[in-house]
Amino acid sequence: MIKKNLIIRRFVVPVLVAIVFSLAAGCSNTDVLPAGVGADVGADNPYRKISAKEAYTMMNDLSDYTLLDVRTEEEFREIRIAGAILIPDNEIRIRAAAELPDKSAVILIYCRSGRRSANAAYELIGMGYKNVYDFGGIIDWPYSTIR
């Protein structure tokens, strides 16, 4: 019986989790997104991964959005996208309510390579933010930056 439980925990559960996540990723509702922007995964609190081009288009088309850099202060001083505000990923939970009070506002998030921006996006979504878009890393940003 113990061996059977171990097999279930080590093999069956991860496979089921992978299936659920792949099915969720395949379901999309693009009605809630601006035209031409990535897929919505989940209806209530979606994680939206978009390209740098889609983020750039949104920055040009929308009059109201927040551009959020979640790297360190040192990285931010070295290079950043114009108009970005800095809240390091490890400070999101502490600072978001005060610095990002509108949970329905469009928030475009980036970091260096995309890992921290994804983590920050999930953190914000978990806190009830509704329009969070992760466009990955500044290393993939082909547009102008501030040095």
Q: Which of 33, 87, 111, 121 is catalytic?
A: 111
Residue 27: active-site member: no
> Is the CB of residue 106 less than 8 Å from the CB of residue 133?
yes
Write down the H helix ranges in 28-143.
Answer: 52-61, 73-78, 92-99, 115-126
Residue 7 burial (10 A CB sphere; 0-12, 13-18, 19+):
exposed
Nearest to 132 by CA among 114, 109, 116, 113: 109
> Is the CB of residue 98 less than 8 Å from the CB of residue 74?
no
> Is the CB of residue 130 less than 8 Å from the CB of residue 45?
yes
**Residues classed as catalytic:** 111
